[in-house]
Structure 1
Amino acid sequence: MTGDLSRILTDVLKLPADRLSDDASLDHAGFDSLAVVELSVLLAERFGIDVSDNDIKDAATLGQLDLLITSKRSGR
């Protein structure tokens, strides 16, 4: 998982760092519906990318979420 995503999850969304691994599910990492919405807004504000709530929820793991964000940031 990239440092940017890790920092957002721990520093802003206050998710427990010991649960953040590439193979962790969003539920295991501590995501709730509010965290999903907050992450979507943060990604738009900080990186200028549109990642919908559904896109985030559809990621099976944090690693997949990280790949999605990385691909959107690179314009792919």
Structure 2
Amino acid sequence: MTGDLTSILIDDLKLPADHLTDDASLDGAGFDSLTIVELSVLLTDRYAIDISDSEIKGAATIGRLELLIQRKRDER
């Protein structure tokens, strides 16, 4: 997991660092519906990328979420 995503998840969303592994499910990492909405807003504000709540949910794991974010950043 990259430093940017780690920073957002730990510092901004207050998720527990010990649950943030690439193969961790979003639920297992501490995501809930509010966390997903907050992450979507943070990504739009910081990186000017548009990722919907359903895309985040669909990622299913932290590693796949990171790949989704990278793909969206590359597309801009």
TM-score by length of 2: 0.97
Q: Which residue of 1 aligns with 2:49?
A: 49
Cα deviation for residue 73 of structure 1 reads 0.5
Query: Mind listing any 5+ residue stretches in structure 1 that lack a counterpart?
Result: none
Return the alpha-carbon distance in structure 1 between the equivalents of residues 60 and 31 of structure 2.
12
Question: SS of the residue aligned with 2:15?
Answer: coil
Return the alpha-carbon distance in structure 2 between the equivalents of residues 20 and 7 of structure 1.
11
Cα deviation for residue 48 of structure 1 reads 0.1
Q: Which residue of 1 aligns with 2:26?
A: 26
Cα deviation for residue 59 of structure 1 reads 0.8
Q: Which residue of 2 aligns with 1:73?
A: 73
Query: Mind listing any 5+ residue stretches in structure 2 that lack a counterpart?
Result: none
Cα deviation for residue 71 of structure 1 reads 0.7
Question: SS of the residue aligned with 1:58?
Answer: helix
Cα deviation for residue 69 of structure 1 reads 0.1
Q: Which residue of 2 aligns with 1:61?
A: 61
Question: Runs ≥4 in structure 1, deviation > 3 angstroms?
Answer: none
TM-score by length of 1: 0.97
Identity in percent = 68
Q: Is residue 13 of structure 1 aligned with residue 13 of structure 2?
A: yes
Q: Which residue of 2 aligns with 1:39?
A: 39
How many pairs are equivalent? 76
